[in-house]
Structure 1
Amino acid sequence: MTSIFITGSTEGLGYLTAKNLIESGNDVTLHARNQQRANDVSKKLQNAKHIVIGDLSNRKDVDSIANQVNDLGTFDTVIYNAGVSTSDTDLTFKVNVIAPYLLTTLINRPKRIVYVSSGMHKGARLDINNLPRTTDYSSSKLQVLLLTKIFAKQLPDTIVTAVDPGWVPTGMGGSMATDDLTMGYTSQVKLATTNDHSITGSYFYHLKPDSYDQRADDIDLQRQYLQKLQEITKR
């Protein structure tokens, strides 16, 4: 049995990932943005171990989420699934990038970390000196891949991976999405329980390592990017 914490797990791929892992006998702690969402999901996933509450766009709430998680102990796996798709670049940057960065630094070190990226990261704009004003959805997912590469090196005892779930028909993906919904969360489920340390730093699509924007492997870019995040967050 594996203990797993999943951000953004009241709907969409986060919910489906949690549901599958719970049905497989794992101890899953959910995350909800507010109490109403927590109440709603608790009725659907009654076997969830706990529900952590907090708004990922709010720094105080992010700190609170980390404290709530750490009060529950040390998890085997943390899946950073939560994300928004909006024209508000500041909000996108806070939820899709700053929140997982901060939580990674604040939460007790797990055995595995899974970041949910997207194939849309390829060729995305990355303006390191203007991140809050220029981080659209695609850019945020390139930055998530950079986080994967950075923490894979910084945390050698943790298996750190990234996933492209594909364009799937969720609330975010929309009804026109062409990818398979089940495959949209299958990689996360598998990576949540793997013991294969050789895959750390890898990027997966439908259970297999996939190609990605090679800027993510640029050591100097990783250094500059991490330095900028530290300046912005003071952490």
Structure 2
Amino acid sequence: MATVLVTGSSDGIGRQTALDLVAGGHRVVLHARSDARAEQARSAVPGAADVVVGDLGSLASTRALADQVSALGTLDAVVHNAGVGGQDERRLTEDGHELTFQVNVLAPYLLTALTPTPARLVYLTSGLEAQGEPHLDDLDFARRPWDGMQAYCDSKLWDVVLALAVARHRPGTLSNAVDPGWIKTRMGGAGATDELPAGADTSVWLATSDDDAARVTGRYLHRRQLRAPNPAATDVDLQERFLARAAELTGATLPAA
């Protein structure tokens, strides 16, 4: 039995991931951005062991969330599932960052930096990471014309960069990025092609399976198969510059292994 935290588990792929983990006999810690959403999560996944609460659109709230997670002790796995889709307009958080970047990228970075290192880390990305552009000098779209879909693609590229960078810095941890596919969720929309179980399957497998194929690290996967990510994601120099920039923006440095 593994103890697994799933961020953003009050609905969508995160909830399905939590349900599948519970069904597999694992101990699951849910996450929601508010107390009200936490109650929804508890009702939707009644077999979960615990719920932690924190708004990933706030660095202060994410730090408080990291404290809650740290108090649980070292987990076996964390599935960084929480995220937002493309925004119709550029929205800034209380910290002055563009919302998509902060929730999808800075928050999982900060949680990774501030919590005990689990044996396995899974970062959800998207096939749209292939269209991401690595503008380290304009992560918040402060200078570029606003394009909500491009901001989302960029954030998903940075999620792959983060997963691969963590794999290098923490060789004792299996750290991978997963494209769940185009799933029928509120974010995916009615036109999506795949059902929720397909979106959760690879994350559950990577977080818990002892199959040799699941015990990889520093990889990008879709439907349990290895895929080649955006070439920018494998650029070690870019990974290092991203980690340095994320540390500057959050005040938290990713600890060495």
TM-score normalised according to structure 2 size: 0.88
Size of the alignment, in residue pairs? Answer: 235
Asked if the contact 1:118–1:164 (Cα under 8 Å) also holds between the matched residues in 2, the reply is yes
Which residue does the alignment assign to 2:243?
A: 226
Which residue does the alignment assign to 2:136?
A: 128
Long gaps (5+) in structure 2: 92-97, 145-149, 253-257
State the AA in 2 paired with 1:158.
T
Say yes or no: does 1:98 pair with 2:106. yes
Say yes or no: does 1:178 pair with 2:175. no
Asked if the contact 1:9–1:31 (Cα under 8 Å) also holds between the matched residues in 2, the reply is yes
SS in 1 for 2:241: helix
State the AA in 1 paired with 2:250.
T
| Shift in Å, 1:180 | 4.1
Separation in structure 2 between the aligned mates of residue 226 and residue 165 of structure 1, nearest angstrom: 24
Q: Percent identity?
A: 40
State the AA in 2 paired with 1:227.
A
| Shift in Å, 1:225 | 1.5
Give the root-mean-square deviation of aligned CA atoms: 1.4
Which residue does the alignment assign to 2:56?
A: 56
* Farther-moved stretch of structure 1 (42-51 vs 191-200): 191-200
Which residue does the alignment assign to 1:117?
A: 125
Separation in structure 2 between the aligned mates of residue 23 and residue 174 of structure 1, nearest angstrom: 26
Alignment of 1:41-52 (within 5 A): 41-52=41-52
Alignment of 1:189-228 (within 5 A): 189-195=204-210, 196=212, 199-228=216-245
State the AA in 1 paired with 2:237.
D
Asked if the contact 2:59–2:250 (Cα under 8 Å) also holds between the matched residues in 1, the reply is no
Which residue does the alignment assign to 2:167?
A: 152
Separation in structure 2 between the aligned mates of residue 181 and residue 5 of structure 1, nearest angstrom: 18
* Farther-moved stretch of structure 1 (22-31 vs 84-93): 84-93
| Shift in Å, 1:198 | 5.5
TM-score normalised according to structure 1 size: 0.96
State the AA in 1 paired with 2:135.
D
Segments of 4+ moved more than 6 angstroms:
none
* Farther-moved stretch of structure 1 (71-80 vs 38-47): 38-47
For 1:182-219, what per-residue CA distance to the aligned partner results, in whole angstroms no more than 9, with x for missing partners? Answer: 22110001001134485100111011111211111112
Long gaps (5+) in structure 1: none
Asked if the contact 2:10–2:44 (Cα under 8 Å) also holds between the matched residues in 1, the reply is no
Alignment of 1:16-95 (within 5 A): 16-85=16-85, 86-87=87-88, 88=90, 90-95=98-103
